[in-house]
Amino acid sequence: MAYRELPPTEEMSDVFHEWLAWLLLYEEKPPHTLRAYSQGVRRVVLFSGLSPAAFQADSLEQATLTDTVRAMRAESDVSKASINLTLAALKSFFDFCVAERHATEVPDIARIRKLAKLDVPQVDPEYYRPTEISDLYEEARSWPVSQDNGSRRGSRVRWPTRDLAMCSFLAVLGLRSAEILSADVGWITRERLVDADDRATWMLHVVGKGRRIRRLPLSDELVEVNDRWQAERAERFGPSEAAAPLFVTNSGDRFTYQRLRYWLKLLNREAGLRDRSLHSLRHTAGVQLAADGVPMNVIQSLLGHATITTTGIYTELAGGQLVGVLEQSGANTLLAEALAAHNPLDGS
């Protein structure tokens, strides 16, 4: 079949353009991913014969989409990698439509992938190990040091009290980068006083994906690290209004994604850690909670996952119910006895 051009972006439906805006604002997809996802959905429109301007979530039924993918598989110009990317883009589009109530039922992408023999191996998400997050915290709370004479030096990027607060809000609460970028001072509220010790219960009201709100209780440590940051900030810029950004740059501006990404890149480098994405800190929160035995449904609520299936990967990474199981093995018990019977350090 002769090569056919994809429908132009400007000819696509309004919901398609709303989805692209959503990807940029809430999913923080970089420009190259936006282009690839846009091409993926437009590729489906092309092969299915749908009208670009009328394309909606309910335009494709399961059978129609399955046939469309099979048609792509039969086309020599469309690689397996391109089809996998197309299906990833479609899943994102359908997730958006469900979140925004543009649709209630959507095709099962996983089943289509299986039928088309497009299954891809699972890639575990990156996260910081406990020693690494400790190193990151240590670097965050310290001023950069000059390489020449060991003295403290200024920085247009670093600000220790703020850096430690941002690191902890990302790694403890598992906030998405879009959530911390859009967070305002007024998102933190005092909900009630505990009469026994006159302590306040503080909550962070997070506006997450699909503008869904999560209410996250703050630990005493998170309250303290934020209090220290806000006190220093007030000394430099004066009191903050409720609508002011929760975290600001050294010049007092709200962070952009690019500036936040560069901040973490610099922090990783100065802490002697390899570069990781902002989302790795969110994964760190999930893995740590799972390792401490927090139930999956609770982790799901804290992180704002749409399904518990997404949360399940953290239990797998942390060992989940497998932790401690081997100690109950008879073979492991015999290994302990063998080690006790032969200790080369005491010559036995």
Q: Nearest CA to 204 among 179, 228, 229?
A: 179
Please say whether the beta carbons of 158 and 264 come within 8 A. no
Contacts by residues 76-83 (CB-CB < 8 Å, ≥ 24 positions apart): 77/3, 78/43, 80/118, 82/40, 82/43, 83/116, 83/118
Residue 308 CA neighbour count, 13 Å, CB half: 7
> What element of type H or E holds 263?
helix 257-270
Decide: 107 and 65 in contact? Cβ < 8 Å.
yes
Q: Taking residues 21-33, what's their average pLDDT?
A: 80
Q: Which has more confidence, 75 or 258?
A: 258
**Fold annotation for 9-115:** DNA polymerase; domain 1 (1.10.150)
DSSP 3-state of 194: strand
Distance of CA 344 to the CA centre of its chain: 48
One-letter amino acid of 244: A
What mean pLDDT do residues 78-86 have?
83
Tokens of 326: 């081997």
Contact 244, 229 (CB under 8 A): no
pLDDT tens by residue, 152-164:
566 788 999 999 9
Mean pLDDT score of the chain, rounded to an integer? Answer: 84
Greater pLDDT, 185 or 332: 185
Q: Tens of pLDDT along 45-73? A: 998 889 999 999 888 888 888 888 888 88
Instruction: Note the pLDDT of residue 168.
Output: 95
Q: In the prediction, which pLDDT does 19 show?
A: 93
Classify residue 3 as exposed, middle or buried by CB count within 10 Å of its CB (0-12, 13-18, 19+). exposed
Residues in the chain: 348
In DSSP notation, 67-121 reads HHHHHHHH-TTS-HHHHHHHHHHHHHHHHHHHHTTS-S----HHHHHHHTT----
Q: What number is the average pLDDT over the span 180-198? A: 79
* DSSP-assigned letters across all residues of 216-241: EEPPHHHHHHHHHHHHHHHHHH-PPP
Domain borders along the chain are 9-115, 130-275
The answer to whether the beta carbons of residues 42 and 67 sit under 8 Å apart is: no
Closest among 262, 194, 188 to 230, alpha carbons compared? 188
Q: Hey, what CATH topology would domain 130-275 get?
A: hpI Integrase; Chain A (1.10.443)
The neighbour count for residue 309, using CB atoms within 10 Å, is 11
Is the confidence at residue 171, as pLDDT, over 90? yes
Question: What's the pLDDT band for 1 if we cut at 50, 70, 90?
Answer: very low
Tell me the pLDDT band of 132, cut-offs 50, 70 and 90. Answer: very high
Higher-confidence residue of 11 and 291: namely: 11
Highest mean pLDDT among 103-117, 243-257, 290-304: 243-257
92 contacts 27 by C-beta, under 8 angstroms: yes
